[in-house]
Amino acid sequence: MTDLGTFTKPLAYLGLFTLGKAAFSLTRQATNFLLPSTLCKRYNPTKANWALVTGATDGIGFGFSQELCARGFNVILHGRNAEKLERRRRELQALFPAVSVDVLVRDAQNVITDIDDVDSEVRDIIHRNNRTIDSQGDPGRLTVLINNVGGETRPSTLLKEYTFEDVQATISRNATFAIQITRVLAGQLEENAPGLVMNVSSIAAFGLPYISIYSSTKGFVDSFTKSLRAEFAAEGKKVEVIGLRVAEVRTAGYDVESNLFVPEARVLASAGLNRVGCGQEIVWAYFWHWLQGLSFEYLPRWMLMKVAAMKLKAIRSDQEAKAKSS
């Protein structure tokens, strides 16, 4: 008969190892929120460099643009609506006269081959502004790309309720556009190294019900982040790629009450920029979102999916009630 006692010690050592591993992982993740950001020192030491933010006319994208200007970057705002872009450009320019703000118009839902012109358009924008703002100093260059554009325009929708066009638009806005614009600007970022690509992801990347298409695109974005980061490293290119995981944020696209767990867009954007240099490939932007995210690592999935389904069903009922009353 087997002596059960012989398993006791190895099991205890394994338990200790597991505990140590979990403690190390938690401590490592917590230190992400204590490390100083390397954003300005590494990517804008001369205060002449440029960042491009996609989906910059509202929400988190506008928050990123405000924060980047405040931190001394010249900023190219990307959006689909030329008038709204110009309004936002003037607003930022008035608030931050020491930097330059310019615009790039493209519809992220409808990517066509003119995306290839973005490389030369960005070079032209920078060249034009360099002539006026920095005649004797260091010429500015594009060093930061923030792939922020995205979102779900039909939250809490069953897959079968989507039309062909809805599916294509959601995938394009959240995934295709990020890949295409990064492809087109990768050479410029390599030339201007060190460079940074920040991809905005979501808690939905864990795979949530009732937002299956949006969830899938965010999983796609996370894989893109990891692959591209590894590819630049393997090629010896100094372009850092970071995936920024985000939970609920009060924005134009997600108009809820803000609180400690649901920050305002600019607070989230600032937190995201503060994570630059932490060394992680995918990182939570905001401390209180990280705490929520820990449940996905440590609680059973079936339990989380019950909670998620309840929340998304409540959003659905709310939308149906609003639609009936209007």
Binding site for ligand NAP (CB under 6 A): 55-61, 79-81, 84, 107-109, 148-151, 173, 200, 202, 246, 248-249, 251-254, 265
DSSP string, 17-81: HHHHHHHHHHHHHHHTTTSPP-HHHHH-TTS--EEEESS-SSHHHHHHHHHHHHTT-EEEEEES-
Q: Which is nearer to ligand NAP, 58 or 91 (CB)?
A: 58
Q: Which is nearer to ligand NAP, 168 or 194 (CB)?
A: 168
The first and second tokens of residue 57, run together, are 């006319």
Smallest distance, Å, CB 79 to ligand NAP? 5
Beta strands in the chain (DSSP E): 50-53, 74-79, 101-105, 142-147, 195-200, 239-245, 282-284
Smallest distance, Å, CB 57 to ligand NAP? 4
Backbone φ, ψ for residue 97 (5° rounding): -65, -15
Q: Which of 126, 168, 167, 172 is nearest to 149 (CA)?
A: 172
Smallest distance, Å, CB 34 to ligand NAP? 23
Backbone φ, ψ for residue 78 (5° rounding): -100, 140
Smallest distance, Å, CB 158 to ligand NAP? 20
Residues 6+ apart with CB under 8 A from 190: 232, 237, 239
Kind plus residue range of the DSSP H or E element containing 291: helix 287-298
Q: Which is nearer to ligand NAP, 115 or 193 (CB)?
A: 115
Smallest distance, Å, CB 171 to ligand NAP? 12
Q: Which is nearer to ligand NAP, 44 or 57 (CB)?
A: 57
Q: Which is nearer to ligand NAP, 39 or 108 (CB)?
A: 108
Q: Which is nearer to ligand NAP, 121 or 134 (CB)?
A: 121
> What DSSP state is assigned to residue 226?
H
Smallest distance, Å, CB 270 to ligand NAP? 14
Smallest distance, Å, CB 89 to ligand NAP? 13
The first and second tokens of residue 155, run together, are 């939250």
Q: Which is nearer to ligand NAP, 70 or 115 (CB)?
A: 115
Task: Tell me if residue 326 falls in helix, strand or coil.
Answer: coil
What CA–CA distance (Å, rounded) separates 45 from 98? 15
